[in-house]
């Protein structure tokens, strides 16, 4: 075989030369397109988008923010998978791109898609995150004596609290209590109000509204205004929250109680809502001890098939092991 190759090469020098030139040209072209790294990154390009709306439950965040954001980024080129998490006050979208996409192209395409999408509820602007978080977002508040000062509180947060939180393991639970306020559009229209007007009042009263900015030294702080705690601690007090409107034929501002244009109840809902490729999903994990993994998986699949009946729109899928 080797003799035949040598003979062919010596007797067909022109073809060998042309082939060598073609191989060299292809190699140089590939070299210009290859991302040179000392240690190639095997992870795909991931762009994270978030939207915050304080005071809204996980289901409301999914309805008003998560689903519209998923719809807006779905047509982007080279998108492989879209995952999302909705929880209280925050919607988080994770967009995974195929290997042929580079980070800057993916970032710019996502930014353009968000700019062209219809306005979200209360004109909330979604934000493209600069890094991909590996956990959930936890919000907390640091309070102290009035004479302590914001700078000292910030120092306490940065140098004491934040460092101790690095070793904290947090597990979430389901069954979160939510204040469910369902606006009656027909009743609201009688006062010339729309859902945006009413939700804006609710958000400002219960979650707060940034009214101004304060500087203390080289630090910047938002001044948030909202109802005092004693005026929003019960459903009855929230039900009497005044919503302003302009009566027809009058130039004076009038007020209607929130309970007159909405139904207010305390309900139990989901703490977190996970979505994958446009569908809700919930993950069930289990550990195996003193037996092989294959037999455990087969037994679980058999029990699910025998004892659990899903509707046509629900499927059980095994994702893998950790």
- Report the pLDDT value the prediction gives residue 135, as an integer from 0 to 100: 45
- Report the pLDDT value the prediction gives residue 39, as an integer from 0 to 100: 59
pTM of the model: 0.58
Q: Exposed, middle or buried by CB within 10 Å (0-12, 13-18, 19+), for 286?
A: exposed
For the chain, what percent of residues have pLDDT higher than 70?
88
131 pLDDT above the threshold of 80: no
The Cα–Cα gap between 256 and 197 comes to 13
- Residue 55 vs residue 194, higher pLDDT: 194
- Quick one: average pLDDT of 270-285? 81
15 pLDDT above the threshold of 60: yes
The alpha carbon of 286 is separated from its chain's Cα centroid by a whole number of angstroms, namely 26
**DSSP assignment of 244-305:** EE--TT--S-EEEEGGGSEEEEEEEE-SEEEEETTEEE--------SS-HHHHHHHHHHHHH
- Quick one: average pLDDT of 158-166? 73
How confident is residue 284, by pLDDT bands cut at 50, 70 and 90? confident
- Report the pLDDT value the prediction gives residue 196, as an integer from 0 to 100: 83
228-237 confidence digits (pLDDT tens): 888 888 889 9
- Report the pLDDT value the prediction gives residue 69, as an integer from 0 to 100: 95
The Cα–Cα gap between 176 and 61 comes to 14
Strands 90-97 and 242-245, bridge-based pairing: unpaired
The alpha carbon of 134 is separated from its chain's Cα centroid by a whole number of angstroms, namely 12
174-206 confidence digits (pLDDT tens): 566 778 888 999 999 999 998 888 888 888 888
Residue 227 CB contacts under 8 Å (≥ 6 apart), including other chains: 205, 206, 241
- Residue 312 vs residue 126, higher pLDDT: 126
- Report the pLDDT value the prediction gives residue 91, as an integer from 0 to 100: 92
- Report the pLDDT value the prediction gives residue 74, as an integer from 0 to 100: 92
Number of CB atoms found within 10 A of residue 254's CB: 12
The Cα–Cα gap between 75 and 99 comes to 17
Q: Is 288 left (phi over 0), alpha (psi -120 to 50) or beta?
A: beta
- Report the pLDDT value the prediction gives residue 44, as an integer from 0 to 100: 82
71 pLDDT above the threshold of 90: yes
**DSSP assignment of 185-237:** HHHHHHTT--HHHHHHHHIIIII-EEEEEEEETTEEEEEEE---GGGSSSHHH
The alpha carbon of 287 is separated from its chain's Cα centroid by a whole number of angstroms, namely 28
Number of CB atoms found within 10 A of residue 135's CB: 7
Mean pLDDT rounded to a whole number for the chain: 82
137 pLDDT above the threshold of 70: no
- Residue 257 vs residue 33, higher pLDDT: 257
- Quick one: average pLDDT of 289-303? 85
**CATH code reported for the domain at 185-260:** 3.30.2090.10
- Straight-line distance from the first to the last Cα atom of the chain, in angstroms, rounded to the nearest whole number: 49
């Amino acid at each position: 075989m080797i003799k035949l190759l040598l003979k062919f090469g010596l007797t067909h020098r022109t073809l060998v030369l042309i082939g060598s030139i073609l191989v060299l040209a292809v190699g140089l072209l590939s070299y210009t397109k290859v991302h040179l790294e000392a240690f190639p990154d095997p992870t795909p390009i991931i762009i994270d988008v978030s939207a915050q709306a304080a005071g809204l439950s996980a289901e409301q965040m999914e309805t008003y923010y998560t689903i519209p954001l998923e719809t807006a980024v779905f047509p982007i080129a080279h998108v492989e998978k879209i995952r999302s998490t909705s929880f209280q006050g925050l919607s988080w979208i994770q967009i995974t791109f195929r290997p042929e996409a580079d980070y800057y192209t993916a970032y710019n395409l996502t930014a353009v898609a968000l700019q062209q999408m219809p306005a979200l509820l209360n004109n909330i602007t979604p934000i493209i995150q600069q890094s991909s978080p590996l956990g959930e977002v936890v919000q907390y508040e640091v309070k102290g004596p009035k004479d302590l000062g914001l700078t000292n509180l910030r120092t306490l947060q940065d140098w004491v609290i934040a460092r101790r939180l690095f070793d904290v393991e947090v597990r979430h639970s389901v069954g979160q209590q939510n204040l469910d306020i369902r606006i009656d559009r027909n009743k609201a229209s009688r006062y010339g109000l729309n859902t945006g007007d009413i939700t804006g009042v609710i958000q400002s009263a219960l979650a707060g509204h940034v009214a101004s900015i304060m500087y203390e030294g080289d630090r910047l702080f938002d001044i948030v205004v909202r109802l005092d705690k004693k005026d929003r601690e019960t459903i009855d007090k929230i039900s009497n929250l005044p919503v302003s409107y302009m009566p027809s034929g009058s130039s004076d501002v009038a007020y209607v109680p929130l309970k007159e244009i909405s139904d207010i109840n305390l309900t139990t809902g989901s703490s977190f809502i996970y979505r994958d490729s446009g569908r809700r999903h919930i993950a069930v994990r289990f550990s195996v001890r003193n037996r092989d993994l294959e037999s455990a998986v087969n037994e679980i699949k058999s029990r699910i098939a025998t004892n659990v009946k899903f509707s046509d729109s629900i499927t059980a899928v095994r994702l893998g092991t950790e």
